[in-house]
Chain A
Amino acid sequence: AQSVTQLGSHVSVSEGALVLLRCNYSSSVPPYLFWYVQYPNQGLQLLLKYTSAATLVKGINGFEAEFKKSETSFHLTKPSAHMSDAAEYFCAVNKAGTASKLTFGTGTRLQVTL
């Protein structure tokens, strides 16, 4: 069985500040890990993914995440927040392989203030 836990359902940062969204995973098999972003009333957009290649993964919009097996973590970071980053962020996991179902975390709402 696989699961992800997102710590903090709501994170607020100032514009220009560091963004850190936390995700810890549990998996009995090698995992693939994903971060998705969802804007209001929209579907999910893939930010980045870890598929057992480089442990530091760079994604779109300046986001990156580091896979740390020893800590079972896959935290999402961005050096400088922008107002347009305000959205809901979901961490997800599936089995390393093809077309297997994703298990999502509960989501973290990022608020960016002036």
Chain B
Amino acid sequence: GAVVSQHPSWVICKSGTSVKIECRSLDFQATTMFWYRQFPKQSLMLMATSNEGSKATYEQGVEKDKFLINHASLTLSTLTVTSAHPEDSSFYICSAVSTGTRPDTQYFGPGTRLTVL
């Protein structure tokens, strides 16, 4: 149980285009999802907290107009990187917190590698 999926797993796009990444909790409902960014050989940096039915809360330094987050249902959150540039190339990982019996644990997706040319 507690499986989180991400789609796509890998995406290459041209500079200036927008890319949408989906994060789904497959076997549980998640009121809260988190989006992280990870640069090569570095730790995870929290970008934003996504709550179902409300606006996301962004961490300091994260551009909310560039990284659009939508959490439209209890099993789906999306991250859209708008007008992507090469510096946005990174590994993006989402996590979800169950509304059920284990609300203290984040379950992570497999990540999406974004390469902007």
A residues with a Cβ closer than 8 A to B are: 32, 34, 36, 41-46, 49, 51, 90, 94, 96-99, 101-107
Contacts and interface: CB of A to CB of B under 8 A. Distances in A.
B85 interface: no
B103 interface: yes
B97 A99 contact: yes
B42 A99 contact: no
A99 B93 contact: no
Contacts of B42: 106-107
A98 B49 CA distance: 13
Interface stretch (B14-22, B71-79, B109-117): B109-117
Using C-beta atoms within 8 Å of the partner chain, give the interface range for chain B. Answer: 20 to 34
A49 B108 contact: no
A49 B16 CA distance: 41
Nearest to A90: B43
Contacts of B13: none
Contacts of B110: 42-43
- Tell me which of A42, A45, A99, A102 has the highest count of chain B C-beta atoms within 10 A of its own C-beta: A99
A99 B91 CA distance: 23
Interface in B74-114: 91, 93, 95, 97, 103-111, 113
Contact of B43 (A94, A97, A99, A107): A107
Given A41-B111, A41-B113, A32 B93 contact: no
A33 to B, nearest CB: 11
Contact of B49 (A44, A101, A105): A101
Given A99-B97, A101-B49, A43 B108 contact: yes
A90 B44 contact: yes
Contacts of A45: 108
A98 B104 CA distance: 5
Contact of A105 (B4, B31, B43, B104): B43
